[in-house]
Amino acid sequence: MISLVTGFVFIPLLGNCPLFDWDEINFAECAREMLITGDYGRVQLNFQPFWEKPPFFIWLQALSMNIFGVNEFAARFPNAVCSIATVLVLYSAGSKFHSRNFGLLWSLMYIALMLPHLYFRSGIIDPWFNLFIFYAVYRLILITNNPNSASELKGAFIGGVSLGLAVLTKGPAALIVVGLTVLFVLTLLKLFHVLRSRTYLVFMITCLLVSLSWFIGEWLNGNSDVIQEFITYQSRLFNTGDAGHDGPIYYHVLVLLLGCFPASLIFIRSYTNKQDLTHFQLLFRRFMVALFWVVLILFSIVKTKIVHYSSLCYFPLTFMAVLGLMQYLPQLKLKGILRSAYWLITSLIALALILICALPLYKDALLRSNLITDSFAKGNLQAEVNWSGMEAIVVPIFLLASFLFYKGVQKAKLNKIVYALMTFLIFISITIAMIIPRVEMYTQHSAIAFYKACAKHDCYVETHGYKSYAYLFYSDRRPEHHIHPGQIAYIKKFIDERAGAGKIRSVFYANAYCNWMKYEKIDKAGYIVCKINDEGPMQDDSFYRKLYELNGYSFWGRIH
């Protein structure tokens, strides 16, 4: 029954708007290229080796595309399946920890929060990556609680497979997160001897074998660059704000506070409560606390700041919130700063929703006011988007959910909290169905429409001045677009000159491809897309003329 309800929530409308640059389209494009080339052993991007991510999630998307075709629904379907698996795991873990009601509330809490819910409707890697890590930690909790039990050997094996699959989904960061979590708990409890138990050994050996399977296969096939590229990529994320994604050290604190509202405030309010817990419950709680802080601290230190980097925190954050609601609800009344924070966040989110829904009413005045100085943003706002007016219904639904949740906490009424979470779930579902597609119309739709038009013709297409994967996916880029002898020689020279700076990175190949299209002899029509505030170099290019500009993008075609 839980599976059916979850599937009903997440599967409909998966394809209701185009994929978003970058991450969604990045992974979907890799899966599309697997289908085209028939090479499922390695990940490719722009039909070049792409070593930044292992293949497991790409395999899931490729399988989905084989079933449903190459489209948005297929790209997002694996994460809809992940939502069902996650809810079942949370229900099982919560039932073992406390009770069936705990498991049900934990499952509901998780999918009724904005960011966790949104990711299950997306095509990014993190939902599966996080689930594999969480399940591995859950199995470690069980074997730590009973390290020498023969009954836990099977669980240790499954947990090791789960962590190994996490590595094959996104990389060795999974080992770092779980390793630091276990190290913290075992140090705190002085339980290092459990590492010598049969169950821990089975877990570690299984994890190692699964984790290394694909890497060893690539190494044996002569692709030893995969290891170096993983190291280079992880180092770049840690030391630099990769691709402009940098931010302050408190970035992920704000992300969790707002994106997991209202559970984030209950997490804070109930954090110190741990009385009347059994030995196993205390152990479970310690692992969850350790997992939360390891992820938050680690990715606060990492220079690259992207919203979903802290998404593994959703598991321990919701666990602690549900523990507070189930075990200590009469003590959780919000007071002082937390009460003010609750209504401040509620007001900010409601105001943001009002501004989005009312955009057609004040858009023209905003454009005339010169408050927006960025020409690309101005162009985005000029998009013609059909708003029905019904979108504003999300505002009272959100306020009702917030009011019910607040009253439930203040009056210690768990049933009101459950009703509130269901209302939050309705609010998020309506928002995704009615508002997100309209936001997409402003941000990228004109460019994607152009790429789709290019897919109907035999031509070259590339972007200039900004990073994108949308043109690859939506223009239906094919291997035969990379067979021109002059193109091959030019790109090889371009990349060789940059050897030592990460020559396998797709950005160098895209830059080389764009330069070849701009300055060398090409054998078919060529088109370049850029943002209007970056079109200066294109205006000075005698080979290209502007076809038109629309909603912040300008579109150029080669004259000769």
**Domain boundaries, given as residue ranges, for the chain:** 2-331, 336-435, 445-558
Dihedral class, residue 459 (left if φ above 0, else alpha if ψ from -120 to 50, else beta): beta
Chain center to CA of 111: 15
Q: What is the pLDDT along the chain (560 residues), one digit of tens a residue?
A: 788 989 999 999 899 999 998 889 999 999 999 999 999 888 899 888 887 788 999 999 999 999 999 999 999 999 999 999 999 999 999 999 999 999 999 999 999 999 999 999 999 999 999 999 999 999 999 999 988 787 789 999 999 999 999 999 998 899 999 999 999 999 999 988 898 899 999 999 999 999 988 888 777 777 766 666 666 666 666 666 555 567 789 999 999 999 999 999 999 999 999 999 999 999 999 999 999 999 999 999 987 788 999 999 999 999 999 999 999 999 999 999 999 999 999 999 999 999 999 999 999 999 988 888 889 999 999 999 999 999 999 999 999 999 999 999 999 999 999 999 999 999 999 999 999 999 999 999 999 999 999 999 989 999 998 889 999 999 999 888 888 888 888 888 887 776 554 444 566 777 888 888 888 888 889 999 999 998 888 877 778 999 999 999 999 998 76
| Pairwise CA distance, residues 383 & 373, whole Å | 17
Spatial strand order of the sheet with 553-558 comes to: 459-464, 525-531, 553-558, 544-550
DSSP string computed for 270-319: HTT--TT--HHHHHHHHHHHHHHHHHHHHHHHSS---GGGGGGGHHHHHH
* Coil, strand or helix at 191: coil
Report the amino acid identity of residue 40: Y
| Pairwise CA distance, residues 461 & 481, whole Å | 10
pTM for this prediction: 0.93
| Pairwise CA distance, residues 368 & 365, whole Å | 5
Length of the chain: 560
Q: 500: burial class by Cβ within 10 Å (0-12, 13-18, 19+)?
A: exposed
Give the torsion sign (CA, 36, 41, 44, 49). Answer: negative
| Pairwise CA distance, residues 142 & 157, whole Å | 12
Residue 173: CB atoms within 10 Å:
22
If we measure between CA atoms, which residue out of 33, 42, 72 comes closest to residue 482? 33
